[in-house]
Amino acid sequence: MRARFAIHSALREAPLERDHVVQLCAFRVGDEKYALDLRRVEEIIRPPQPARIPREPAFIEGVFNLRGAIVPIVDLRKRFGLMARSLGAKARCIVCRLAQDRVAVLVDGGTEVVRVRIADLRPAPPITCTGAKPYVIGVCGAGDELTLLLDLKALFQSAPRGAGDST
């Protein structure tokens, strides 16, 4: 029951009917497919050139000005401990609302909207919930095409030492 609540909280709603359909913004990071609640997504843009901020964790690429708002960027490759590589032509920044602020996540590409029934969302297995607060809170899909549902708020919380921290 707690895991279901975590999924519903990340979807920013009270518990939903099992047949209710939610829309997710799906994208790729490395070889995996991830998703965020589409209601949090404001826009998808080409990666800007950020201004670096000293002493921030390595997964924070910096900040950029988006029509007068200063927006931080989280590089999901670094956040997930994946090998860094140069940005490809399909790389995008997904600008999202997080409480009263805007945040951006840098992804490898493949952004699309997917519709998923609440009944088809499964909580993340307990083994993925060790250490710091997990950012993967749910899973949907079948076979080789699983999509991992991310908790946007958890992506911006401090990482444990050795998990993308530059200090």
Structural domains of the chain sorted by starting position, each given as residue range(s) with its CATH number in brackets: 2-155 (2.40.50.180)
Between the alpha carbon of residue 113 and those of residues 1, 25, 44, 128, the distances in Å are 27, 5, 12, 25
Decide if pLDDT at 84 tops 60: yes
Greater model confidence, 143 or 137: 137
- Residue 79 to residues 3, 39, 96, 115: CA-CA distances in angstroms? 22, 23, 17, 26
For 98-132, what is each residue's pLDDT tens digit?
A: 889 999 999 999 889 999 998 899 988 776 555 54
State how far the Cα of 154 lies from the Cα of 97, in Å rounded to an integer.
14
The whole-number pLDDT of residue 23 equals 94
pLDDT(14) > 70: no
Sheet containing strand 136-140, strands side by side: 109-117, 21-29, 32-37, 147-150, 136-140, 122-123
Residue type, 75: D
pLDDT 10s digits, 62-83: 999 999 999 999 999 998 888 8
pLDDT the model gives residue 156: 74
pLDDT at 80: 87
Structure tokens at 94: 């997904």
Identify the pLDDT of residue 81: 86
**Among the listed residues 70, 64, 80, 99, the one whose alpha carbon sits nearest the alpha carbon of residue 27:** 80
Residue 160's pLDDT band (cuts 50, 70, 90): very low
Q: What is the pLDDT of residues 19-71, one digit of tens each?
A: 789 999 999 998 899 999 999 999 999 999 999 999 988 899 999 999 999 99
Q: What integer pLDDT is reported at residue 158 of this predicted model?
A: 57
Question: What DSSP string describes 3-18?
Answer: HHHHHHHHTTSS---T
> How many Å apart are CA 47 and CA 107, to the nearest integer?
9
How far apart (Å, rounded) are the C-alpha atoms in residues 167 and 34? 28
